[in-house]
Chains A and B, each alone.
Chain A
Amino acid sequence: MIGTRRYAGWGAVHLIVLTSALFPVLWILSLSLKTSGDIADGRLIPRAFSLDNYFGAKGIFKQSIFTDALFNSLIIASIATVISVVLAAMAAYAIARLEFPGKRLILVAALAIAMFPPISIVGPLFNLWRDLGLFDTKAGLVIPYMTFTLPLAIYTLSAFFRDIPWELEQAAQMDGATPAQAFRKVILPLAAPGIFTTAILVFIFAWNDFVFAISLTSTGRAQTVPAALSQFTGASQFTAPVGSVAAAAVVVTIPIIIVVLFFQRRIVAGLTAGAVKG
């Protein structure tokens, strides 16, 4: 009896957590599926389901402001992720395995940047980027993104690297493997999960940014989805084009949901590894 009551209690708790976590997402989804006539009716479930906001004549996939932004977001976030993870992996390897002066300095610098307010450098970067021809280019966003993701990447990776049994590398070499073979066949497979997890976290960060995106871009050349979303124009300056905003919001959320569904365990491990052991 007590057993079933406890299970029922936990069931209720789960229901509360699930509802609070998912409700806003479902509301946006519902809005995006409404017809333009029903969009302001305030109903939770659409009266009639329609994909017009996505694929209709005025749907987001027909609007270059959105399709360009989606392309830019993917390219910019991917490049920033690759560079940031490579630079961070080098630093994290050194931090986890080598003795050298300045080790603390790099960790303190990373921590300071994790706390740094991006808005404080937006003005100078805006100015500098216009002088250097980086304003409204993809590189102009990749540079701040890789910088601001480096602390997260360094802390997460050095926590993962510290747990790798590096003796195996020497053992493999003793068994006749060349250093390159030992690295490729032994160390890389052990390091890969940590690197992959870090890449996910860095990508989420770059995919999410808004401050730099609206400050350092102005056109479809480099504008990312969050910036484009805020620039969609509605019937008046007081209202957003609700259907388009909702549909675009759903599209940029889908990759995140897929990543979370497949890799939730890794993401949790990554987030907590950096925070606790770092």
Chain B
Amino acid sequence: MARAAKKPLTDRARAERKLGLLLCAPAGIVMLAVTAYPIANAIYLSLLRSDLRFPGQREFIGLDNYVTVLSSSLWWKDVLHTVILTLASVSLELVLGMLLALVMHRALFARGLLRTAALIPYGIVTVVAAFAWRLAWSGSEGGFVPKVLGLSTDPLTQTSTTYLVAILAEVWKTTPFMALLLLAGLALVPDELHEAAKVDGATAWQRFRRITLPLMKPAILVALLFRTLDAFRIFDSVYVISNNGVNRPLESVSVLGYNTLLNRLNLGLGSAVSVLIFVFVIFIAALFVKGLGTSLDEQTGAGK
């Protein structure tokens, strides 16, 4: 509506627009070129029979690749693996991240030390973190955990314990990130509210539930959004901890996509998997954005 009453632009405003667009153009073009073109290409490839081992047999086959993927039990097994990994690690991270954020917020001394310690898992290479956990748990690679727990079978040959190790590795690596995002939200909760509730006799738990949590809802949703999407794309830790499927039983959808594309060199099927992952990610993001929208509306009292 503001557009309708267009005022003629002054020279200065016009120059500012031009400069703004010029400065943003390189970053915009790079982001578009390196993601939009390949994803369009992936959609196109997913409609072809295209196997790099048989380059002569390339032809258009419509949605056949999707039918193949969606009717394969391997795909649904990997979806289940990924969903379990995502739900378990994100919910654990939320609880532990909140505790860590409260600790960093309230600590009486050595806050710098806490922050430094927490940032080490954040900064560490994911593959390294995954190896640290794998080598601690792997019976055949001299891990101490099977010895300490007196396990007779190698935990990394069983699905349930491989899950556990992958979740632990993921939670260890990313809880600090969650905590830092929550810490920023925690800093926005005014102290006076807590003081007032204290005077009225509210317990620490009541104050946390009734004051801190509601005020932090947007921060929590943002942190959850980023971590859920990240966890759903899980690749590095699963690849390393399951030794990419060699004798080990865990595979995420991203690892399935990688194996179809680059080990089996089946571009058509692999692209169908890639596109399906992309669709899942959009779906998760849309859910959160909707949740975030309503929670911001509630907060500002805007409603709809």
Contact = CB atoms under 8 A, between A and B. Distances in A.
Contact of A117 (B34, B181, B243, B277): B277
A57 interface: no
B293 interface: no
Interface centre among B27, B34, B103, B141 (most CB of A within 10 A): B27
Contact of B125 (A42, A100, A253): A253
Given A17-B114, A120-B42, A147 B127 contact: no
B233 interface: yes
A61 B27 CA distance: 38
Q: Give the secondary structure class of B's interface.
A: helix
B293 to A, nearest CB: 14
**B28, B115, B133, B223: most-surrounded residue (chain A CB, <10 A):** B28
A15 to B, nearest CB: 11
Contacts of A264: 112, 115-116, 119
Contacts of A267: 119, 123
Given A91-B28, A102-B24, A276 B219 contact: yes
Most A CB contacts (10 A, CB to CB) among B121, B131, B177, B219 go to: B131
B35 A99 contact: no
Contacts of B131: 28, 229, 240, 245-246, 249
B140 A121 contact: no
B257 interface: yes
A192 interface: no
Given A27-B136, A253-B128, A40 B141 contact: yes
Contact of A124 (B18, B119, B271): B271
B201 interface: no
Contacts of B125: 207-208, 225-226, 249, 252-253, 256
Given A13-B107, A17-B100, A264-B112, 18 more contacts: A6-B108, A17-B117, A24-B133, A31-B135, A40-B142, A102-B21, A106-B28, A109-B28, A119-B257, A120-B39, A122-B257, A127-B267, A210-B239, A226-B127, A229-B127, A245-B135, A249-B131, A276-B184
Interface of A: 6-7, 10, 13-14, 17-18, 20-22, 24-25, 27-28, 31, 39-44, 87-88, 90-91, 93-95, 98-103, 105-106, 109-110, 113-128, 143-144, 146-147, 150-151, 154, 204, 207-208, 210-211, 214-215, 225-226, 229-230, 237-240, 242, 245-246, 249, 252-253, 256-257, 259-261, 264-265, 267-268, 271-272, 275-276
13 contacts: A14-B107, A42-B148, A100-B21, A115-B285, A117-B233, A119-B254, A119-B277, A120-B275, A126-B262, A154-B27, A256-B124, A260-B123, A264-B115
